[in-house]
Structures are given as structure tokens and as C-alpha cells.
Amino acid sequence: MGRRYFGTDGIRGRVGEAPIAAEFVLKLGWAVGRVLAGEKAPGGRKVLIGKDTRISGYMFESALQAGLSAAGVDILLLGPMPTPAIAYLTRTLRAQAGIVISASHNPYYDNGIKFFSADGCKLPDALEEAIEAELDEPMVTVDSAALGKAERVVDAAGRYIEFCKSTIPSTLTLRGLKIVVDCANGATYHVAPDVFTELGADVIKIGVQPNGLNINKDCGATATQALQKTVLEHHADLGVALDGDGDRVIMVDNKGEVVDGDELLFIVARSRFQQGHLGGGVVGTLMTNFGLELAFKGLGIDFERVAVGDRYIMERLKEKGWLLGGESSGHIICLDRTTTGDGIVSALQVLATLIQSGCTLHELRQGMSKFPQRMINVPLNNGFDFRKSDAVTEALKAAESALGSEGRVLLRESGTEPLIRVMVEGSDAQLVKRLAAGIAEVISGQQTVA
């Protein structure tokens, strides 16, 4: 069946506009409860709800809670918690599902709802389809005696902190490292600094004063300037930037240079390969820098690309029986550590490599040479399909011809925002920049004409 609401990462949009409105989220909670009511649950039916720090989280938390209760499902409230923490706690608390209220790296005025199954993975397609079907039915409340009850999990943060620490050997310590941690004024603000501090690091924390409106604003994994500046000012060994919901990580080395997801993936994969426990190959996406592919080829590591999105990375990893994959944006999946992308856990894998090798982060990144890459986000007007535009097709062909065998062009619609992403990659930085700007200009012009 065609999906009306679920995208590749749950349901997302602007707050107050369908479907991200209180009345829909109330019905969504009820629909989820109705679907779970039909599932076998020996220990009783219960659902976890966690959120990031957006002001709209209060509203949607209450709406989901009411809908689930009306369907007869109990609720465990986690409050502000990273998305991967909710996946972990759903599994360890034996809940039937976990619900995350977050729009990840988007601004505060966006929000979204995404789900984890009982095993801490994304919901199967069949369950998402069943929820959509239930949304067409009239909302009916169960008998008062069968209403779901809600309680707050008071030790959620402590449980997750201990889990994160357990993902690196107990013999390793971060003592002697000065680390700047940028929590993007998001869901990790009360968790991430404690993880690194308890492991022995001297931690300088920024982006830890959320007010409901400043999540991801000029901070975090999508805006590293504040982190770079702080690392240099404090002569820190490195910096860790998380995004608003904590599933992405970007790092900064001691020279203030950004180390992106491709480079972090390389560092972790090479270390595991050298130690003999990589567990197969590595999965990247269409956006993965060509330099990473070449670096893996030089090491003899198998590498495959999939469509952009952690869902597709996860599918390929499971299909191949591999353990490691990730995106340039810093969404890294270590299936031998956890069931989903986790910014804190991924950062710890890099730090473990750093400690074991005795190298700095700047030194560890040197084994991979990135190709110049230019990404431009072009606002997408409703109804415009760049694939059907002759002008865009001609601009694309001209760019590919100019790049030859030493580059590539990728156009794709964002799965989370109304944007067309224009990516050009090649050996000549100036040519890459010029071609990307030209294609973006053509797309903008065609939308104006349309």
C-alpha cells in the first residue's frame, strides 16, 4: 500500500501543520496502541516515550500519552533522552515499542515521531502499514478499567550512561584527554558530558542550555564553528559534536579541523580490520566520499553503497551479515555495540582507537584523502520533479562530462526536509564548486518558471 505519513525515518514536518499537529498525534498514539493491542505481549503492553528538547515536545508527549492510554496501553515516560537511548531502553525494559519525539538535526519549529520495535530496531514495514490503516478508523476509547497507566522512568539517564561506557573495554580510560563536548542544546545535554567525564576525560561542555528554541541553532553536528573555536581556545585534544537527538557525531581534531562521518568511519573500520574483528565489509551511502571508497580498496576492505538513510544501511548490513556502516553526516552504525546509530557510542569507538594506537585524532585521519565535495541544498517547491526537467537533465549531463572519470554528480530529494540536495565531487575543487553552483541555479530557475 502507498504510505501517506511514514517516510524513511518516521513522520516529520513543521509543528502545527498536518500531520505534525496535536490532533493527529493523539490519533497516532491511539492507532499505535490499537496495533500493539493485537500483538502478543506476555508481559503486558507498554510503550516508552522519549523526546528531545524542542518546546513542542511537551505537547506531543501529552497527545501520544492520551492516545495510547485510550487504546489501553501503559506508558513509560523518559523525558528528554537521545534517540539511541530510547532504542536501548525499549529493549532492556522489555517494552513492545519505543516512541521518539524528535526532528533530529532540524530546527526547533520542526518535529517528528519515530518508532522502535521491541528489539530496539526500526519498526517493520508491516507494522507501519498497520498503523496507517488504523488511522482511518474512528477513535474509540477502551473501558475505563482498561485504560493505560503512565509512569516516569526516573533513572533513564543513568541506565543509558552505563550502557555507553560499556561499549569500550573496561581497561580503557580517557584520563589525560581534554575534550570539548557540544550537545547542540539537544537531548544529550544531561548525558554526554557525564559519559566522557566518568571515563576520566577533562570535559568542557557547550550547547548544554536548551530552552526549547535553540536546539541545533549555531551548534552541534550541523554547525561546528563554536566547537572548533572552543577546542582551539582551550588547547583541547579534540571536540565531539552531537546533533539534537544524539544519533549523529562529528568530531574536531586538536588543530580545529572538522573530522566528518566518512573519516570517523574510516578510523573505526581500519582499526577493527587491523585487529581482525571488522566482521566483514563496510556499508556507506551514495553520499559517501569517493576518497573513503579508495582508502578501503587500498586496505582490502569490502565496501558497498546504498541509498541515503540509516534504514538502508541497516538493511544491507543485515543482508550481508556485516557490522559497520555509516554516513558522511556522522550517522554511524556499529551493530556489535547497539541496534541503531548512536553519536556517543560512535565517538567512544573513535576514542578507543585513539587510546589504543597512541595517535592523535589528526594523525588517525591521515590514512584517507577526501575528494573535494560540494553540497548545495535547493529549496523544493511542491510538485516540482527535477527528473522530468529537460534543463536539469542537460545541466547534469554537462557536469558529468566535465568531471569525466574523476568525479560524480548526485541529485536527490531530502527524506526529512523540502530540499533538493545537489552534490558534486571530483579531483578539481574549483570545478566542483562551479558545477554545483550551476546545477543549483538551474534547479532554482526551473522551479521559478514552473
Q: What are phi and psi of 166, to 5 degrees?
A: -75, -10
Measured between alpha carbons, how far apart are the two ends of the chain, in Å?
30
CA 174/CA 191 separation, integer angstroms? 17
What integer pLDDT is reported at residue 138 of this predicted model? 96
Q: How many CA atoms lie within 13 A of 55 on its CB side?
A: 10
What integer pLDDT is reported at residue 37 of this predicted model? 75
List, for residues 21-32, the tens digit of each pLDDT value: 999 999 999 999
What integer pLDDT is reported at residue 160 of this predicted model? 98
List, for residues 111-165, the tens digit of each pLDDT value: 999 999 999 998 888 889 999 999 999 999 999 999 999 999 999 999 999 999 9
What integer pLDDT is reported at residue 449 of this predicted model? 63
The per-residue pLDDT of the chain, averaged, comes to 94
What integer pLDDT is reported at residue 40 of this predicted model? 55
Helix (H) or strand (E) holding 450: none
Reported pTM: 0.90
What integer pLDDT is reported at residue 123 of this predicted model? 87
Give the start-end residues of each E strand in 339-434.
Answer: 373-379, 407-413, 419-426
Using the predicted structure, report yes or no on whether residue 409 has a pLDDT greater than 70: yes
Q: How many CA atoms lie within 13 A of 418 on its CB side?
A: 9
* Among 58, 77, 60, 51, CA closest to 19: 60
What integer pLDDT is reported at residue 117 of this predicted model? 92
From the candidates 104, 328, 329, 346, which is the catalytic residue?
A: 104
What integer pLDDT is reported at residue 232 of this predicted model? 98
Query: Cell for 145?
Result: 478499567
List, for residues 50-101, the tens digit of each pLDDT value: 999 999 999 999 999 999 999 999 999 999 999 999 999 999 999 999 999 9
Grade residue 41 by pLDDT with cuts at 50, 70 and 90: low
Please report, rounded to a whole number, the percentage of residues in the chain having pLDDT higher than 90: 84
Domains of the chain, earliest start first: 11-154 (3.40.120.10), 160-367 (3.40.120.10), 373-449 (3.30.310.50)
Q: Kindly report whether the peptide bond that precedes residue 379 is cis, defined as omega within 30 degrees of 0.
A: no
List, for residues 274-302, the tens digit of each pLDDT value: 999 999 999 999 989 989 998 999 999 99
Q: What are phi and psi of 301, to 5 degrees?
A: -100, 130
List, for residues 315-364, the tens digit of each pLDDT value: 999 999 999 999 999 999 999 999 999 999 999 999 999 999 999 999 99
CA 124/CA 114 separation, integer angstroms? 12
What integer pLDDT is reported at residue 407 of this predicted model? 84
Q: Does the annotation count 444 as an active-site position?
A: no
What integer pLDDT is reported at residue 65 of this predicted model? 98
